[in-house]
Amino acid sequence: MKFHGLHLWIAITGLALTITACEEAAEDDQVGSLVGTWQLTDLKVDWVRDVASPEGTDPDTAYTITASCNEVETYSWIDATEADRILAEFVVGDIILDTTVALSAFLLVYLQISMTATFSEDFTYALTGTYPALRLVPDSCKTKLVIPQISDAGIYGVDYIAGRLGIMPGEFDQVLPSFDDGQITFSDDEDTLTISYVDRDGHDQRIAETGETWDETENRVIHGAAELPVNIVTGAFSQDGLLRQSGYIMDSSGRLASWRNYLTFFALTILGVADELIASGEVVTFEEALVIIGQWADEDLNEPQTGLPFATLLNNDSGRVFDPQDIGTGGKLTYVINPVCVPVNEIIYFETTWSKVD
C-alpha cells in the first residue's frame, strides 16, 4: 500500500475546482474534452537510474562491472594475462542507466502493449491494458523489459487552460504513480490527446514531490547491471551505443595499437608475456617489454604457452573473431559482463499519445 499525501489531494482537488470555475465563468470550448475513452497510439519512455545509498549502506560503496572472456577460460596460462577486464565503476550519484524506448503504433502492436484510459465526468479515471516496465531477474541479477498488465483507478484533476493534469490512484495494487504536474494537449479537433508526466516514486528524495512517503522495502529499485553500451560500428563497449551483455574490448591508450586497439587473442597473449617480463624486473615499461618480444620474433622463437611464433602474435588479428578451435589465426575476443546488483534511484519520463474512441 502506498500512502498518498494530503497536499496531493489538495492539489488534485484544486485542479478539479479550476474546471468548475471555467465552466461557470468562461466559454472554454475545451472544457470537458478529457472526458471519454482513449486508446494509446504512441509511447516514449525514458528510464534514468543513478546509484543510491540506502540507509545502512556505506555511502562510499563502489560498484565495479567486469567482463570475462569465456573463449579463453580453458587456457591454464590465461590468469597471468589478467583476462577479466574492468569496464566501469559506479559510485553513489553516478547514472548507471539512461535509456529511452520510443514506440509507434506499429511497435505497440508488435510488443503487445495496449492501454485504454477512461476519464469520467465525476473526476474518476480507469486505466487498463499492458505497459512496458523494467524488472530485475534476481537469480541472474539482470534487468529486462517486461510487458505486465495494468488495471488502475483513482481520481484526476485537470486545468485545461494551463494544460495541466494530476491524478491520485487508489490505495491498492496501483501501477500508475501519483502526480499533480502532468502536461496535456489536444489536437485534431480534440480527437488526439498527449499526456506527459514523471514517475518519481522510485526515488528516495523526489518521491516527496508526489505526496507519498518512502518505504525502502516497497519503493527501492534494484538495477541488474548486466548490460553496457556497445558501439554499433566497432562492436566494442563504449560510452554510447546499444545496450548489450557482450562486446569487444578496445583501448586507445597505446598498448593495443598493433591490433587496431582491439583486445584480440594475439594481443592478450603478448600483454601476458609483457606483464611477466615487468613482474620479473627484467624491464620496467610495456614498451621495453615489446622490444624484447620483438627480438624474440626476429630469432623465430615461439611463445611457450600457445606454441605460436612471436612474429605471428605481433601481427594484427583484429579482422576476424576468435575461434578457440583455431588459435593460430587469432581474432577479436568477445567479453561477457559479470552482472552486478546495484541499488538505484529511478526517475521515469513518459510521453504518451492517445486517440479518442468514445
The 10s digit of each residue's pLDDT in 171-218 is 877 899 899 999 999 999 899 999 999 999 999 999 999 888 999 999
Please tell me the predicted confidence (pLDDT) of residue 77: 58
Local confidence band at 16 (pLDDT 50, 70, 90 cut-offs): low
DSSP per-residue string spanning 7-58? HHHHHHHHHHHHHHHHHHH---TTTTTT-EEEEEEEEEEEEEEEE---TTS-
User: 3-class DSSP state for residue 214?
Assistant: coil
Task: Check residue 82 and give its pLDDT.
Answer: 57
pLDDT at res. 78: 59
Provide the b/e sequence for 43-73 (b: ≥16 CB within 10 Å): bebebbbbbbbeeeeeeeeebebebebebbe
- For residue 338, how many C-alpha atoms fall within 13 Å in the half-sphere facing its CB? 14
What pLDDT is stored for residue 9 in this prediction? 41
Domains of the chain (ranges, CATH numbers): 6-57+92-226+343-356 (2.40.128), 250-332 (no CATH)
As a whole number, the mean pLDDT across the chain is 88
- DSSP, residue by residue, 141-154: TEEEEE--EEEEEE
Strand partners, 169: 154
pLDDT band at 36; cut points 50, 70, 90: very high
pLDDT of residue 74: 59
Cα four-point dihedral sign 277, 283, 286, 289: negative
Give the residue with greater pLDDT, 78 vs 260: 260
Question: pLDDT tens digits, residue range 151-181?
Answer: 999 999 999 999 999 999 988 778 998 999 9
Q: Which residues contact 65 (CB under 8 A, 6 or more apart)?
A: 86, 87, 88, 89, 90, 225, 228, 337, 338, 340
CB atoms within 10 A of CB 86: 10
- Residue 150 pairs in a beta bridge with 129
User: How would residue 275 be classed by pLDDT, with cut points 50, 70 and 90?
Assistant: confident
Position 12 pLDDT exceeds 70 = no
Q: pLDDT value at position 37?
A: 97
Mean pLDDT, range 282-297, rounded to an integer: 95
Residue among 46, 148, 41, 45 nearest 104 (CA): 41
pLDDT exceeds 70 at position 5:
no
Report the share of the chain in percent with pLDDT over 90: 73
pLDDT tier, 145 (very low <50, low <70, confident <90, very high otherwise): very high
Asked whether residue 26 carries a pLDDT value surpassing 60, the answer given is no
Tell me the average pLDDT across 40-56.
96
pLDDT of 21 over the 50 cut: no
202 half-sphere exposure, CB direction, 13 A CA radius: 22
Return the minimum-mean-pLDDT range out of 17-21, 68-72, 80-84, 254-258. 17-21
Lowest mean pLDDT among 49-58, 76-85, 142-151: 76-85
Residue-wise pLDDT tens digits, 294-351:
999 999 999 998 899 999 999 999 999 999 889 999 999 999 999 999 999 999 999 9
Place of cell 605460436: 308
Instruction: Look up the pTM and report it.
Output: 0.80
Residues 73-101 pLDDT 10s: 656 555 544 568 899 999 999 999 998 99
